[in-house]
Chain A
Amino acid sequence: MKRAIYSVGPFTGLRVYADDDMSRPILHIDPCAHTDLLKLGRDAYGADTLRLVIGGEEYELPARRLAEDILAMLELVTQGGKK
């Protein structure tokens, strides 16, 4: 199991990086993909860990924390960045 880290924001969407290679993301979901992100957030909310299998490698992420961060980001996206 390889380690992964993520960044999620209203302009960047969700980006997941392998811990040992942050030069490019192994997964990127655009912030415009509201439905996909919402589904991922809801699915992850009830789980302990989220396992991603990408390119033959298996990565692990903290599901609950990721879900909360995705849902927080979607709050910003649905407001259209209003201040």
Chain B
Amino acid sequence: MELLIIAGTVGKDAVLRRTSNGLDRPNDAVLSFQVAVDQGKDKSGNRRDAKWYDASIWGKRAESLQSYITKGSKLTLHGRPTAREHQGKVYMGIAVSELAFQGGSQQRQQDDQSGGHQEPTGGASYGGGFDDEIPFAPEWRV
């Protein structure tokens, strides 16, 4: 079994859909959204492109969380890694089993936007290293 844990920023408001009746999970709710994960900086100090993941939450939780997972939400997701291929490109995804919400002080967010953000020095990963410039959908999703 594989477990993927990512922390990132939601690119667009989550979309709730339902499966059709003929599938294994008929009329099941599925909440879909994209998460941008900050990749930090390279050796020369240039910021690397964020890595995007397609996230999905199934069942009752999908219906409950629809209004809460919006553009700019900062989340930590646990789940099973998935992948799909489209026109020769592979897109990574995660079937979410657990999630937690993150946030921070206004001052921190303002610093992030002005480029003054520094990575936390502690051992915990929650909430650190987000880039507020990230939550825009990449071109291929528009």
Binding partners A and B: yes
Residues of A within 8 A of B (CB): 1, 3-12, 15, 17, 19-23, 49, 59-62, 65-66, 68-69, 71-73, 75-76, 79, 82-83
Q: B61–A22 contact, CB under 8 A?
A: no
Q: Among residues 105 to 140 in chain B, which have CB atoms less than 8 Å away from a CB atom of chain A? A: 105-109, 120-124, 126-128
Q: How many Cβ-Cβ contacts under 8 Å join chain A to chain B?
A: 107
Q: B98–A11 contact, CB under 8 A?
A: yes
Can you give 25 A-B contacts (C-beta < 8 A)? A3-B108, A5-B102, A5-B108, A5-B126, A6-B102, A6-B104, A9-B99, A10-B98, A10-B100, A11-B100, A12-B100, A19-B104, A19-B108, A21-B122, A22-B121, A60-B105, A60-B106, A62-B103, A68-B68, A69-B101, A69-B102, A75-B61, A76-B64, A79-B60, A83-B58
Overall SS of chain B's interface: mixed
CB neighbours of B124 from chain A (8 A): 17, 22-23
**B67 vs chain A, min Cβ distance (A):** 8
Residue of B nearest to A15 (CB): B126
Residue of B nearest to A69 (CB): B101
Q: A7–B107 contact, CB under 8 A?
A: no
Q: A5–B127 contact, CB under 8 A?
A: yes
Residues of B within 8 A of A (CB): 58-61, 64-65, 68-69, 76, 98-109, 120-124, 126-128
Known: A66-B103, A68-B68. 18 other contacts (CB 8 A): A5-B104, A7-B76, A9-B99, A11-B98, A17-B126, A19-B108, A21-B122, A22-B128, A23-B122, A23-B123, A49-B106, A60-B105, A60-B107, A65-B103, A71-B68, A75-B68, A82-B60, A83-B58
How far is it, in angstroms, between the C-alpha of A5 and the C-alpha of B109 when the chains are bound?
10
How far is it, in angstroms, between the C-alpha of A73 and the C-alpha of B107 when the chains are bound?
24
Residue of A nearest to B96 (CB): A83
